[in-house]
Structure 1
Amino acid sequence: MKSSLRAFGIGLFLAGASMALFDNLSSDSIQKDNTAYEKQLDDYEKQIAELTKQLNEQKPDSDTSNKTDEQTTRTTEKKSAATEEQNKSDVVEETIYIYENVSIYTIGQQAEDLGIVTNGRELELYLSKPEFARSIQKGAFDLRSDMTIEEIAQVLTGQPTE
């Protein structure tokens, strides 16, 4: 019994000693890391001061900056017009064919597959509303991708558009 207590005591002593040793090592490495970070911070502050000085020396006069702003505005307007023109040309125009007893799910999936809507499930849910579900017409319907879900539903049900 005494030997097991002695062994247990020695084990506790060794565990405590190793923990103390590792604590000292980690605090030394933390101090080294802190010193390195402080040096790096000083270097960054010097770089910021240098760049600020350069920026102040190279300040453009207001006339030049106004001309640059006008050029930027014109360029932005041209890009907007080009994007708008491209969006008009990206409109998908397709014909959906609806036959007797076709499901609303099939209509939504067909519209999504043709690129008329991005989410066929959304069209399906909209068409399931009572005012549309009972009045979907059979036939061929020309639809465009720039139409809203409501407009598509009105075309498929033969309801007048507002």
Structure 2
Amino acid sequence: MKTMMQAIFAMILTIATSGIAMAETAFDAQGCAIVPSINSGYNSSISREWTFINLSNISNKNVQCLITIYDQNGDTVTSGMTVYAGPTVVSSGTGQFDIPAHATRRIIFNAANIGVHAFYGHAVIEWKSDDSRHRKALIGAIEKLRMHGNGLLKGEFLINSGQPF
């Protein structure tokens, strides 16, 4: 009987602590935006295309961000992403990074980083802060660049129609 009670206690303890571990890995987002048409590719040294995501924290508080990038098959390819603060890399391949109050980060996805010549898909941008009352913190835009030979095409589109999220 004592052995059975110990086994039941061990099982209860295992189940209870695994729930805590799962809760810690969840990203409890306070805001979210979906960005379509993320692409990157290269056919040769003279033909390339990129998508940059520029995110600005318009609040007075630091926020933590999580970006998940999905490819044309619905697989996550976040490992191809690099986050910059000016020329400094602040995160690479994880999708998680912080944006201090009133700061901006640039996210670049490079198809070569995941070992493919071309990629297209979408991104999900999530953020959270230590203040549970915090509702809108980010604004953003995507830049599309395409280079072929000596020509360069550029376009910019607002995320969430330019509205804070």
Structure 2 length normalisation: TM-score? 0.27
Higher relative contact order (CA 8 A, sep 6+): 2
Which structure dedicates a bigger proportion of its chain to strand? 2
Structure ID, larger Rg:
1
Structure 1 length normalisation: TM-score? 0.27
Which structure dedicates a bigger proportion of its chain to helix? 1
